[in-house]
Amino acid sequence: MRVAVLSDIHSNLHALDAALKAVGPVDRLWVLGDIVGYGPHPNEVVERLATAGAIAVQGNHDAAVLGRIPTDTFNDLAREAVEWTAGTVTTSTRGWLAGLPEKRSEGAFTLTHGSPRDPLWEYLISSSAAGLNMAAFETTHCLVGHTHYPLTFRMDAGRVDILNAPDGGHLDLDERRCILNPGSVGQPRDGDPRACVMLLDTAAGKAEWHRVEYPVERTQQAIRKLPLPGALADRLEMGR
């Protein structure tokens, strides 16, 4: 089965469309949360995903837009965007997001946003934190987002290695437990503004990372026309 794995789309429709076009036909679309927040197109993004039959989980921004978690732990930019988004989403967008779990398993993979032990909040950026999470999922592998940084943590003989995931890079999956992050579609933060997407071939046991150009300026223009902080537009072209 060919699966496109997307995370942290953050209401960036132009990035999502470019990513979907780049991967071509797939059997499944798995989405690791933070579908909305920051960007200008929450309803359009959710409609695309719902139409495509995406299998998704909630991220912290999605939960905040739904009023499930307080926004006082968010920074000012994130909070302003959550508040605008909460006032903009339609009943059907809200209903679709509300129907998503925080964690789910699909075959050999657990899908979650932050980490398997703390789905909404934990950022997996260190091998020590990843190591503590290796016992927190029952499947062989786990897919996470949240950091907006493409990489893999792999358990090997009791040690956790961090493997980089450059554009065009791939990883052969075996019995060694991995936590894989596709990076962010709609707001990459690794200095590369191109959208991130991961392709999984579940039969062959192969994960591939790709970067996709999209019209960043169109998303920036849309943000600047709305009562959203201009910094959210500026950061997109810097990839941070």
Name the site residues for Zn ion (rule: CB under 5 A).
Answer: 8, 34
Q: State the Cα–Cα distance between residues 124 and 88, nearest whole angstrom.
A: 30
Residue closest to Zn ion, measured at CB: 34
CB of 63 or CB of 130, closer to Zn ion: 63
CB of 23 or CB of 64, closer to Zn ion: 64
Q: State the Cα–Cα distance between residues 182 and 117, nearest whole angstrom.
A: 19
Cα of first residue to Cα of last residue in the chain, in angstroms, is 33
> Minimal distance in Å, beta carbon 203 to Zn ion?
30
CB of 64 or CB of 155, closer to Zn ion: 64
**What SS3 class is residue 232?**
helix
Q: Which residues contact 17 (CB under 8 A, 6 or more apart)?
A: 48, 214
CB of 30 or CB of 173, closer to Zn ion: 30
> Minimal distance in Å, beta carbon 8 to Zn ion?
4
CB of 17 or CB of 62, closer to Zn ion: 62
Q: Quick one: DSSP state of residue 126?
A: S
Paired strand residues for 72? none
> Minimal distance in Å, beta carbon 112 to Zn ion?
13
> Minimal distance in Å, beta carbon 146 to Zn ion?
6
* Orientation of helix 216-224 relative to helix 13-23, angle to 10°: 160
> Minimal distance in Å, beta carbon 122 to Zn ion?
13
Longest dimension (CA), the chain: 53
Paired strand residues for 153? 162, 179
Q: Quick one: DSSP state of residue 10?
A: T
Q: How far is CA 126 from the centre of its chain?
A: 18
Burial call 32-45: b when 16+ CB within 10 Å, e when fewer: bbbbbbbbbbbbbb
> Minimal distance in Å, beta carbon 37 to Zn ion?
7
CB of 8 or CB of 102, closer to Zn ion: 8
